[in-house]
Structure 1
């Protein structure tokens, strides 16, 4: 008996859809940050976003990581260019801002206000966020650095977003992992940061069940 024509058409359609689902589209992750993520003093391929992209791809994720870091940027600068970063329609945005606020001794309340606005707008846009924390220089005194340091966990709790407490964890203060200025990670320092953050980022991708978020 001859197989009905619609059977083959249906089978072809099913295979087409399955292949589309299997191939998927790459995840788009945007890193909104300052010089620490922009890759100050490093080749573009050694900056945090590029190293993160390679690490996630090695772990089996099909991702594209956009570098939206601008050297010297404050939290206010990040807020001002948020719409530009959202134009890329990211599936996840990593927010790394505030280091320059502290270096300039800006009021922690202003940093809190700007980061709060960023996280609020991301939520309204339906873009999941991951917040990274920063610590103020201790020479600014305990009153300042206590207020500054604690604004990050407070915001993470308020907005219920994944939180990495200190972006420079394991790197700050270690000469062998920093450039000559003692402030910016070198290639090895960035690699260490990526390695420490990778489980949290991967967990977030799996939890959100984003398209293409599959491990080997």
Structure 2
């Protein structure tokens, strides 16, 4: 028993040292989040939203990284497209996360125009030297099957055409884990960690240095 405890303690020390070394060697990267109310933490404190949780997750293992939350409640893809050039000049991000389109759908705007806006933002980000990431969205079925299908397809087409890391439905699993606020549109506070996990499915591979330390620490905790 004593030997086993000693081995576990040694494993934790090695894992902690590995995490420290990874953190010190990880190159800082800046991540620009260009989103709408879902990423602007609508209906809650900013510190409770998934973007803040993402920033907290990076800090212990990649403390040179920056997360710039440029999300605005009510933003459409047209609005994001018009704001992006100035944001790129001001922050020169390494990664641009595009979480827009939901308001286009809720307002019944053209899905084709939405895709063109998304593609323009992807191109602007890539031309600036950043890696674009696309978080897809769906809309309620009451908009009609033809419109909802066409809407969803535009995210897939934009991602495939430009070969970008892509989450087909950013709100996947929300109903089962945390649910929505009373308006039935915005994810609740309890659902924010799930939003983070959905985003991490594509952000993790782009930020391997930042997530390697986190994985080592998690493995150490599993052996306690």
TM-score by length of structure 2 reads: 0.78
In structure 1, stretches of 5+ residues that fail to align are 1-20, 207-211
Does 2:212 correspond to 1:215? Answer: yes
Total equivalences in the alignment = 190
| Structure 1 pair 193–176 and aligned structure 2 pair: CA distance change class (3 A) | closer
Unaligned runs of at least 5 residues, structure 2: 1-22, 214-224
Inter-CA distance 176–164: structure 2 relative to 1 (3 Å threshold): closer
CA contact (8 A) 1:102 1:137 kept: no
SS in 2 for 1:40: coil
Match of 2:16 in 1: none
Counterpart in the other structure of 1:38: 40
Distance apart, 1:47 and its partner CA:
1.7
Residues in 1 aligned to 2:50 and 2:196: alpha-carbon distance in whole angstroms: 7
The alignment partner of 2:96 has SS state of strand
Query: Does the C-alpha gap of structure 1 residues 32 and 147 become closer, same or farther in structure 2, counting only changes over 3 Å?
Result: same
Partner-residue secondary structure (3-state), 1:161: coil
Give distance in 2, aligned partners of 1:45 and 1:128: 25
Counting only pairs closer than 5 Å after superposition, residues 150-169 of structure 1 correspond to structure 2 as 150-169=153-172
Shift of 1:178: 1.8
Q: 2: CA distance between counterparts of 1:164 and 1:175?
A: 18
1:35 aligns to what SS in structure 2?
A: coil
RMSD: 2.1
Whole-angstrom distance in 2 between the partners of 1:64 and 1:178: 29
Counterpart CA distance in 1 for 2:109 and 2:147 is 10
Cα distance, 1:113 vs structure 2: 1.1
The structure having more radius of gyration, on CA atoms, is 1
Cα shift at 1:56: 2.9
Which of 139, 144, 147 does residue 141 from structure 1 map onto?
Answer: 144
Residue of structure 2 equivalent to 1:101: 104
